Amino acid sequence: MTNLRYQFKIMKITSFDQYKQVYKHSVEQPEEFWAGIAETFQWKKKWDKVLEWNFKEPNVKWFQGGKLNITESCLDRHLEKDGDRAAIIWEPNDPKDEHRVLTYKQLHEKVCQFANVLKNNGAKKGDRICIYMPMVPELAIAVLACARIGAIHSVVFGGFSAQSIADRIQDASCNIVITADGSFRGNKEVPLKSIIDDALVQCPTVERTIVLTRTRTPVAMIKGRDVWWEDEIKKVETQGNPSCPAEEMDAEDMLFILYTSGSTGKPKGVVHTCGGYMVYTGYTFKTAFQYEPGEVYFCTADIGWITGHSYIAYGPLTQGATSVMFEGIPTYPSPGRLWEIVEKFKVNILYTAPTAIRSLMSFGDDVVKNKDLSSLTKLGSVGEPINEEAWHWFDEKIGHGNCPIIDTWWQTETGGFMISPIANVTPLKPSFATLPLPGVQPILVDEYGKEIEGNGVNGNLCIKFPWPGMLRTTYGDHERCRTTYFSAYENLYFTGDGCMRDENGYYRITGRVDDVLNVSGHRIGTAEVENAINMHSSVVESAVVGYPHDIKGQGVYAFVVCPNKHEDDELTRKDIVMTVARIIGAIAKPDKIQFVSGLPKTRSGKIMRRILRKVAEGDTSNLGDTSTLLDPAVVDEIKTGAL
C-alpha cells in the first residue's frame, strides 16, 4: 500500500508546496496517510484496521488489532545501530555537580532493570502507578519501565500538594507510588517523600512505595510499604536477570493517565493509549522540528506535564533523538543558566515556554551577550500564546535571526502538536501558531456550532476529524469526556480555545474561552482555586478570575467574602494563600486577593464573572449592563477596592 519513498516524503517536508500537497493528501486519504506514518514504528503485529470512530459517544480506535510495546520503538529498535548514541543528557540543578549521559543502550538496560524491580514489587499489566519525582533520569526510567510491563503511569508534577496527589491516587486506585526522598529546585529543597506520606494517609489502595535517593533528607520508611530504589536494583542485579521482555499491548490499551484542570472543580484524568500516542508524538516531533539524528534537543518542560511526556520522554526517543533533561530552574544559580546549558551541550533545538522567555528577558540582554548560542538552529515555544515582544526577543537575542520559532499549539488532550509551523518550511508570523500539521483538521465555529468559513475570522477552535494522539476518555468517567469535549458542538472536538484565522488562513490562538486560566503555561481551573479558597475557615465564598501578568501571562485574582477575617488583612491573605498551596499546590496561589462584602450575582444566583474580569484587568470604565444584578451597589464597592 505504502512504500518507503512515500513515508520519507510525509515525515521529511522540504518545501511549502510539499507541505500543501501532503496536507491535502492527509485530509483526502487519512487512513492511508496515517498507515504510512505508523509503518515507520516498531510493531509486534500489524493492525487490521486503521481507524474506527464517532465523536458522539465518543469512540475512537486507531490501529485496531495492532500489537506493540512503545518502549521497543523508543529503545530496542535503536540498539543495534545507535546503541552508543546519547539518549538523555542530564544537567543537575547545581552546575557544580557532574552531568550524566545515558546512551540508548544504557537507558534500555536501566529501564529493563527497573521494570524488573516493579515486577518484584508486585506490579502487573494494567496496574495504575503514581510517579512523583524530581527531574532526574530515573523519572524517565520509571515512566518507561511502567510502559515496558504494561502498567499505566500517572505522573504527578512535583509542585502539587499532598491533597492533590491523594485525589489523583484515589481517582485511579493506584497500588504503587514511585517517588524520591526530595528534589532540588533552585535553592529550594522539596521533601517529596514526606508529602507522599501525607497523601497516603488517605490512600488505602497503595501497597508499595519505591523511593529514590536524591537529596538524602531524612525520610520515614515504613516497614512492609516503603522500599529504597537502590536496594531493589541491587536485588535485581543479584537475581542476574538484566533483560525484561516488553509486554505485548493492544494498540488501544491505556498507556498513561495525566490529570488536567477544566472548568469544573475536579481535575480529570486524560487517558492516552499505546499505539496512537506513539505514532502521533513521534510523527509530530519529527515533522515540526524536522529533527535529524545527531541534533541535540533541549525541552525545558517537566515530565510532570504533557509536554514532558510527549516531547522529553516518548516522542524524541522514538526518533532516536538526543535530549537534554534539566533538573533545575532557568534562573538558578543565575539568569544565564539556560544559555549556559545551550553552550555546554551545543544545543541545536531549544523548546521552551513564553513565560520562561519573558522572565529571562526581564534580566536584560547582558545575560545573553557573552554566551555562545551559535549551535542553535531551531527554537520552539509552547504553553500559551507567545506575545510579539517575547517572540522578537527570542528570535533576535537567542536565535540571532537565524532560527525558525516553532510555536506549537496543542493540549494535554491532543497528545501532541496540532497547529504548528514546520521548521524551515512554513513562513512564520509572530504570535501565530500558523497552520495545522498534516493530518489535523481544525475548524472555527460560532457559539451555535455553525462553521465559520473563509479567512479573516474569529471563532471557537474545534477539530473535526480524529487524530491518533487524541484522548480516548477521562479515567473512570467516560460521560465526563463526552460532555467536556464532544457535546458543545455536534460531531466536533471542542478545544476550549478561542482562535482567529487571518487573511492567509494562519491560526492565532487567542486564549481559553472557558473558566480555565493559563498561569505560566499551566492550566488552572478557576473553580478548583475557588474550592480551595473556600476551605479556609473564615471564607464564605469567593470568585477567581485571571488578569494580564507581565511574566506569567495570566495571574490569579481572587475576590473573597471573608466577614470574620483577622484584623490584619495581610495576615488573612497569607493564610488564604497557604490554604490554596496546601489544597492544590504552590502553582495555584492567588497573586491578588481583594476582600469584598459580596459578589456581583444575577437574580438567579450566577456570579457575573465578566464584571470581575474587567475589575481585575483594571478596566472599570465600562462594566457593561449591570442592571440584572441582585445588588448593583456591590459593584461600586468592588470597583473602589480594586488592587
> Could you give the C-alpha distances from 522 to 78, 432, 501, in angstroms and in order?
34, 20, 25
Q: How many helices (H) and strands (E) does the chain have?
A: 22, 30
Number of residues that bind ligand WT7 (CB under 6 A): 23
Distance CA 364, CA 368 (A): 8
| Closest distance of CB 553 from ligand WT7, Å | 9
Among the listed residues 69, 73, 161, 260, the single contact to ligand WT7 using CB under 6 A: 260
Three-state secondary structure call for residue 472: coil
Distance CA 19, CA 479 (A): 37
Instruction: Give yes or no for residue 495 binding ligand WT7 (CB under 6 A).
Output: yes
Applying CB under 6 A, the span of 100-108, 244-252, 377-385, 606-614 interacting with ligand WT7 comes to 377-385
| Closest distance of CB 80 from ligand WT7, Å | 33
Applying CB under 6 A, the span of 177-185, 236-244, 316-324, 491-499 interacting with ligand WT7 comes to 491-499
Contact 287, 438 (CB under 8 A): yes
Helix 609-617 and helix 633-640: axis angle, to 10°?
20
Name the residue nearer to ligand WT7 (CB basis): 462 or 599: 462
Instruction: Give yes or no for residue 496 binding ligand WT7 (CB under 6 A).
Output: yes
| Closest distance of CB 508 from ligand WT7, Å | 8
Name the residue nearer to ligand WT7 (CB basis): 210 or 288: 288
Rounded to a whole number of angstroms, the distance between the first and last alpha carbons of the chain is 64
| Closest distance of CB 461 from ligand WT7, Å | 8
- Give the β-pairing of 457-463 and 442-445: antiparallel
Name the residue number minimizing CB distance to ligand WT7.
Answer: 412
Among the listed residues 410, 465, 475, 486, the single contact to ligand WT7 using CB under 6 A: 410
Nearest to 326 by CA among 211, 183, 190, 159: 183
Among the listed residues 267, 385, 466, 525, the single contact to ligand WT7 using CB under 6 A: 385
Contact 317, 287 (CB under 8 A): no
Contact pattern for ligand WT7 over residues 325 through 344, marking x by CB under 6 A? --------------------
Instruction: Give yes or no for residue 519 binding ligand WT7 (CB under 6 A).
Output: no
Name the residue nearer to ligand WT7 (CB basis): 42 or 260: 260
Distance CA 12, CA 14 (A): 6
Name the residue nearer to ligand WT7 (CB basis): 246 or 463: 463
Instruction: Give yes or no for residue 518 binding ligand WT7 (CB under 6 A).
Output: yes
Distance CA 394, CA 387 (A): 11
Length of the chain: 643
Name the residue nearer to ligand WT7 (CB basis): 113 or 260: 260
Q: Residue 201, class by beta-carbon neighbours within 10 Å (0-12 exposed, 13-18 middle, 19+ buried)?
A: exposed
Applying CB under 6 A, the span of 358-366, 393-401, 452-460, 506-514 interacting with ligand WT7 comes to 506-514
Instruction: Give yes or no for residue 412 binding ligand WT7 (CB under 6 A).
Output: yes
Which amino acid, residue 86? A
Among the listed residues 523, 536, 565, 589, the single contact to ligand WT7 using CB under 6 A: 523
Binders of ligand WT7 among 300-319, rule CB under 6 A? Answer: 306-307
Compute the C-alpha angle 44/48/49, nearest 5°: 125
Applying CB under 6 A, the span of 192-200, 218-226, 493-501, 616-624 interacting with ligand WT7 comes to 493-501
Instruction: Give yes or no for residue 460 binding ligand WT7 (CB under 6 A).
Output: no
Instruction: Give yes or no for residue 58 binding ligand WT7 (CB under 6 A).
Output: no
| Closest distance of CB 302 from ligand WT7, Å | 11
DSSP codes joined into one string, 135-195 = SSHHHHHHHHHHHHHTPEEEE--TTB-HHHHHHHHHHHT-SEEEEES-EEETTEEE-HHHH
Instruction: Give yes or no for residue 512 binding ligand WT7 (CB under 6 A).
Output: yes
Q: Is the dihedral of CA 430, 433, 438, 444 positive or negative?
A: negative
Binders of ligand WT7 among 424-443, rule CB under 6 A? Answer: 433
Looking from the CA of 54 toward its CB, the CA atoms found within 13 Å total 3
Binding residues (CB under 6 A) for ligand WT7: these are 260, 306-307, 382-385, 407-412, 433, 495-497, 509, 511-512, 518, 521, 523
